[in-house]
Chains A and B, each alone.
Chain A
């Protein structure tokens, strides 16, 4: 029927407004070793349980979101704008 995702910009919306890209992966530095790139492009953890995923609010604000949820129960733990997520990740890496 429907599942709902609370977009930080648009509020609660049905899953039909989103497209899902799968688990969150940050793109390696261009100079990263081939193995790192290989894992980034081809390898997914595919956990049963908690996972961070990219959801694109394609029929809404067109922002990419990081949705942390349980792949088994669809319990959603948090939704962040992907740009904010990336920025905080970069900041963490720098610290």
Chain B
């Protein structure tokens, strides 16, 4: 549906083609689907109910009545479903192009993030499925726990390269590597 136009990721060129993989690794999703769902005032619960089909780790908390649905790749039927069920009660916008999605995984993931985000990421304080918008290096990002040692980071496209470079720098001491998901 995109005609002759090639897709460009904001981290194209920033990740070497053959990155290798240490035990601490950033997986960059090449073409994720990111939907923003923002409920009209008073419709927060009704809209939340329409998102029941989205897995806990894919549904990111942004603010009251506001979520990001983040999937590895486009799921047009889910997108249509959300638009149909929530479309009258919420502003649903496609942000797939506007966000970069990174998965930071490894035994030192938390130690690396401690240098970038102010959140308490101890599993007791931040369980699998929990997420939130927060300060990330100097910018705003959504950080969520998607596994015991795995976090998903949703960055604004324009800041993605900067934030990615900060992340990699903070990962130097743990030999952090990065590559696109294949």
Contact = CB atoms under 8 A, between A and B. Distances in A.
Whether A and B touch (Cβ < 8 Å) is answered with yes
Interface of A: 2, 9-14, 16-17, 57-63, 81, 83
Contact of A62 (B41, B63, B120): B63
B135 interface: yes
Q: Which of B41, B66, B133, B139 has the most CB of A within 10 A?
A: B133
Nearest to A59: B140
B132 interface: yes
Contacts of A60: 63, 132-134, 140
Dominant SS among interface residues on chain A: loop
Given A16-B135, A17-B135, A9 B118 contact: no
Q: Which of A2, A17, A61 has the most CB of B within 10 A?
A: A61
24 contacts: A9-B64, A10-B63, A10-B133, A10-B134, A11-B132, A13-B135, A14-B118, A14-B135, A16-B118, A17-B118, A17-B134, A57-B63, A58-B140, A59-B135, A59-B140, A60-B133, A60-B134, A60-B140, A61-B63, A61-B132, A61-B133, A62-B63, A63-B63, A63-B64
Interface in B35-65: 41, 62-64
Given A14-B135, A57-B63, 15 more contacts: A2-B118, A10-B63, A10-B132, A10-B133, A11-B132, A13-B118, A13-B134, A17-B134, A59-B133, A61-B64, A61-B66, A62-B63, A62-B133, A63-B63, A83-B41
